[in-house]
């Protein structure tokens, strides 16, 4: 039984099979997995059986971990593991409820966004609760050339302060202290991936307007790009099974949770997160090449 990497979509996402359910693999196998991750942007693992220690250890092989704050949503004793869950312990929520119900990449509204996230399904509802993923290399490549030229080298403003109530209507408003901790950020709209060098469209739901354009024009461009990016042709739908884990690259994909009846059913997931870097501006378009040219690119 050897490692296999099986594409699940025509442009991105692959399933990795033939490895231990604990993800305890040797360095040669890990190198193959890492290469598959950078070329396919998203890896799906199935039938896993990982302890929090094993989940953390595997993720750490890709780079330093990011500890999500506030710590109230992290697994007790494991600050590296964030709990994405609607399960309550008495009346205390065990995790962050309704995380990601809307297209985004993790940390896009922060100065240093998260490089990647690795979500592991522990308990699932019988219906609903799929996660959608969209390929931002493909979205960039498919943009009309005049729009590509308009956004290359430009930045857009992401605002937690202005959009918190829009995206998290069920959570308390931000306090003045939280607002100071989450100032607006201005990220490149076209992002150069630090490993592959390929250009992705980097505009998600926290984006609000465009630097150097009149406000209304920038807002309109942002809305156009947000809609363009998530057309069905760029999207893979993950239908979770218990024991699945999905590792996604936040630098070149977006994702969106789909609803389920969270008054009736439980959905309990554990997530590790990789530390990111300040997004690099793509000064020129480097479209992701065809798959047979991928190997060299990711090394």
177 within 8 A of 186, measured Cβ to Cβ? no
282 within 8 A of 191, measured Cβ to Cβ? yes
Give the x/- contact pattern for ligand OGA in 260-299, rule: CB under 6 A.
---------x-x----------------------------
Q: Considering the rule CB under 6 A, would residue 106 count as an interface residue with ligand OGA?
A: yes
83 binds, among Mn ion, ligand OGA, none (CB under 5 to 8 A by kind): none
The stretch near ligand OGA (CB under 6 A) out of 30-38, 69-77, 98-106, 154-162 is 98-106
- Among positions 29-48, residues that touch ligand OGA (CB under 6 A) are none
Nearest to 55 by CA among 203, 246, 218: 246
Q: Give the interface size with ligand OGA as a residue count (CB under 6 A).
A: 11
Choose, by CB under 6 A, the member of 99, 143, 151, 208 that binds ligand OGA: 99
201 binds, among Mn ion, ligand OGA, none (CB under 5 to 8 A by kind): none
Give the x/- contact pattern for Mn ion in 74-103, rule: CB under 5 A.
--------------------------x---
158 within 8 A of 188, measured Cβ to Cβ? no
List the beta strands (DSSP E) in the chain.
4-7, 14-17, 42-45, 74-75, 78-85, 88-89, 92-93, 116-123, 131-135, 155-158, 185-188, 190-192, 199-201, 207-210, 235-238, 245-249, 253-257, 268-274, 280-281
Least separation in angstroms between CB 256 and Mn ion: 8
């Amino acid at each position: 039984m050897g490692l296999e990497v099986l594409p699940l979509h025509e442009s991105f996402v692959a399933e990795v099979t033939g490895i231990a359910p604990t993800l305890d693999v040797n360095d040669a196998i890990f190198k193959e997995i890492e290469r598959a991750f950078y070329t396919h942007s998203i890896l799906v693992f199935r039938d896993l059986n990982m302890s929090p220690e094993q989940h953390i250890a595997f993720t750490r092989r890709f780079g330093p971990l990011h500890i999500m704050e506030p710590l109230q949503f992290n697994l007790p004793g494991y600050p590296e593991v964030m709990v994405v869950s609607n399960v309550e312990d008495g009346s205390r929520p065990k995790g962050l409820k309704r995380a990601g119900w809307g297209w985004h990449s993790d940390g896009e509204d922060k100065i240093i966004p998260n490089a990647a996230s690795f979500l592991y399904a522990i308990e699932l509802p019988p219906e609903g609760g799929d996660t959608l993923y969209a390929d931002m290399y493909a979205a960039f490549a498919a943009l009309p050339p005049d729009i590509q030229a308009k956004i290359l080298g430009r930045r857009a403003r992401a605002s937690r302060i202005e959009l918190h109530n829009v995206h998290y209507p069920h959570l308390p408003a931000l306090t003045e202290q939280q607002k100071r901790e989450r100032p607006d950020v201005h990220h490149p709209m076209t992002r150069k991936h630090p490993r592959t060098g390929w250009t992705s469209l980097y505009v998600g739901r926290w984006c609000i307007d465009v630097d150097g354009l009149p406000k209304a024009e920038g807002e309109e461009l942002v809305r156009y790009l947000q809609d363009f990016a998530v057309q069905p042709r760029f999207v893979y739908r993950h239908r979770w099974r218990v024991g699945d884990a999905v590792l996604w690259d936040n630098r070149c994909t977006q994702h969106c949770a789909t609803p389920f009846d969270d008054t009736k059913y439980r959905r309990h997931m554990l997530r590790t997160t990789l530390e990111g870097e300040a997004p690099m501006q793509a000064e020129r378009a480097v479209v992701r090449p065809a798959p047979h040219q991928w190997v060299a690119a990711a090394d």
